[in-house]
């Protein structure tokens, strides 16, 4: 009975917490851990999902029933933050965006074979990739497997500016694939300040990219 009482008390406390959460606001299991033991919190949240009071949008990530399911980037950010990580746009996605804007092919590849679980294949229809601080991990949100690819602190810093994103996309292409048209395509989306920032970031670039950049500017 003591265990049941603990679970019921935890459920009541979580219900009060949920009542204070606005519609469309995402929260995680970790936000509720001060309401009981981990086991009691997990049971309480599962019960509220079954009762359709909550919607589980990823493992350990919830919204109130009636909320709009957020974009995958929001889910990834909340999930990462719960584990002390931050996310940013991965170089692979930056390259895809540049490709769609300029029609210049950015033939970049990210090897996800070790990250995609065989059991996902029947139900997982899409992959989403983000750069993240800390270790590489992945999780499922709906029919999307989200990959948080661990990158260096330097790359996380670069991802916060347009100039840095341009460098990341070119670095992801690699020495053998990066051509003049790629550098020119990236440059079209940059301001004069961005170009100057790249020139001042020579120490952050591989030698082959620094030479190619200078040659084309």
pLDDT value for 110: 61
131 in the Ramachandran plot: left (φ > 0), alpha (ψ -120 to 50) or beta?
beta
Listed ranges 45-59, 92-106, 133-147, 181-195; the one with the highest mean pLDDT = 45-59
| Angle, helix 192-199 to helix 162-173, in steps of 10 degrees | 60
pLDDT at residue 145 greater than cutoff 70: yes
- Extract the tokens encoding 122: 């029947």
Task: Report the pLDDT averaged over residues 136-163.
Answer: 89
Rounded to whole angstroms, the Cα distance separating 186 from 114 reads 30
Each domain of the chain, given as residue ranges in start order, spans 2-64, 87-215
Pairing of strands 126-132, 144-150: parallel
Q: Domain 2-64, what architecture?
A: Orthogonal Bundle (1.10)
Could you tell me which residue, 122 or 163, shows the higher pLDDT?
163
Could you tell me which residue, 24 or 202, shows the higher pLDDT?
24
Cα 107 versus chain centre, distance = 21
Could you tell me which residue, 104 or 113, shows the higher pLDDT?
104
Beta strands of 51-164 (E only): which ranges? 54-58, 61-64, 87-89, 126-132, 137-141, 144-150
Rounded to whole angstroms, the Cα distance separating 125 from 166 reads 29
pLDDT at residue 77 greater than cutoff 90: yes
How would DSSP label each residue in 181-213? HHHHHHHHT--HHHHHHHHTTGGGS-HHHHHHH
> Binning pLDDT at 50, 70 and 90, where does residue 118 land?
very low
Rounded to whole angstroms, the Cα distance separating 112 from 127 reads 9
pLDDT, tens digit (0-9, with 9 covering 90-100), for 171-212: 888 888 888 899 888 888 888 888 888 888 777 788 888 888
């Amino acid at each position: 009975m003591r265990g049941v009482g603990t679970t019921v008390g935890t459920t009541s406390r979580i219900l009060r917490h949920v009542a204070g959460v606005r519609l469309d606001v995402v929260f995680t299991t970790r936000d509720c851990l001060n309401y009981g033991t981990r086991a009691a919190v997990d049971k309480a949240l599962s019960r509220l999902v079954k009762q359709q009071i909550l919607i589980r949008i990823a493992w350990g990530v919830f919204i109130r029933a009636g909320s709009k399911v957020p974009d995958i980037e929001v889910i990834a950010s909340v999930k990462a933050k719960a584990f002390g990580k931050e996310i940013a746009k991965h170089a692979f996605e930056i390259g895809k965006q540049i490709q769609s804007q300029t029609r210049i092919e950015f033939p970049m590849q990210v090897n996800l074979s070790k990250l995609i679980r065989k059991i996902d294949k029947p139900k997982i229809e899409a992959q989403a990739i983000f750069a993240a601080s800390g270790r590489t991990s992945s999780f499922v949100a709906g029919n999307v497997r989200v990959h948080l690819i661990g990158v260096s602190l330097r790359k996380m810093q670069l991802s916060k500016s347009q100039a840095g994103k341009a460098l990341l996309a070119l670095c992801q292409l690699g020495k053998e694939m990066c051509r003049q048209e790629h550098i020119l395509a990236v440059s079209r989306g940059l301001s004069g300040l961005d170009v100057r920032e790249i020139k001042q970031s020579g120490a952050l670039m591989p030698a082959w990219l620094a030479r190619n950049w200078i040659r084309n500017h």
